[in-house]
Amino acid sequence: MTVEIRDVSKSYGDARVLQNVSLTLEPGVTCLAAPSGAGKTTLVRILLGLEQPGSGFVTGLEAARLSAVFQEDRLLDRLDAAGNLCFVLGRDYDETQAAVLLGELGLGDAGGKAAGEYSGGMKRRLALARALSAPFDFLALDEPFTGLDGENRKRAIDCIRRRTAGKTVLVVTHNSEDAVGLDARTVKLE
């Protein structure tokens, strides 16, 4: 699936956050790099339909199934890992597949512990597991590796590569090594 972003601009009052952004997202991973405050998260929110651009347009996502990891983990803190995945998947929840995914992300031994009791890195990996478990055509990951140590960052990168083959993925990151690990194309947002 190809996503076209053409001349997208967005302002909040007098503050212009995006100005005439144009890019094409092809199947595979694209890493979006820019300094803080350059509008990366705003662009992700526009792509997910959570915000409307002030001008310009996005095509290719009209009938797409979307999934995302936001800057905040947005977990259900009272539920364990399985409960968080089940909440997203409903009747499509498969305990065996969930256990495999959680194992890939190093959460296989989290047991029935509520997500609210997880460390920051564990919460981040659960947020990633939740996004990867949902059926999607387009996946947006906004700083998905925040709080992950080297081993868990590598584990998460490997999991994303395996589970997103042939899909269109946008990853917001400040770390150029993430793009290398994901075998991604890097686009700089000016």
Residues 145-190 pLDDT 10s: 999 999 999 999 999 999 999 999 999 988 888 999 999 999 998 7
Residues 6 or more apart whose CB falls under 8 angstroms from that of 156 comprise 105, 125, 128, 144, 145, 148
Q: What is the pLDDT of residue 112?
A: 83
Helix axes 120-133, 150-163, angle to 10 degrees: 0
Q: What is the pLDDT of residue 175?
A: 84
pLDDT band at 37 (very low <50, low <70, confident <90, very high): confident
Q: What is the pLDDT of residue 123?
A: 96
> Under a CB-based contact definition with an 8 Å cutoff, are residues 172 and 45 in contact?
no
Mean pLDDT for the stretch of residues 9-18: 94
Tell me, letter by letter, the H, E, C secondary structure of 47-100: HCCCCCCCEEEEECCCCCCEEEECCCCCCCCCCCHHHHHHHHHHHHCCHHHHHH
pLDDT band at 61 (very low <50, low <70, confident <90, very high): very high
Q: What is the pLDDT of residue 174?
A: 82
Q: What is the pLDDT of residue 1?
A: 93
Q: What is the pLDDT of residue 32?
A: 95
At position 120, the amino acid (one-letter code) is G
Instruction: Name the average pLDDT for the chain.
Output: 94
Q: What is the pLDDT of residue 181?
A: 93
Question: Domains in the chain, ordered, with CATH?
Answer: 3-188 (3.40.50.300)
Please say if the pLDDT value at position 36 is more than 90: no
Higher pLDDT, 104 or 109: 104
CA pseudo-torsion sign 13, 18, 19, 25: negative
In this structure, what are the phi and psi dihedrals at residue 47, rounded to the nearest 5 degrees?
-60, -35
pLDDT band at 81 (very low <50, low <70, confident <90, very high): very high
H-run or E-run covering 155: helix 150-163
Q: What is the DSSP string of 103-143?
A: HHTT-TT-TT--GGGS-HHHHHHHHHHHHHHS--SEEEEES
pTM for the complete prediction? 0.93
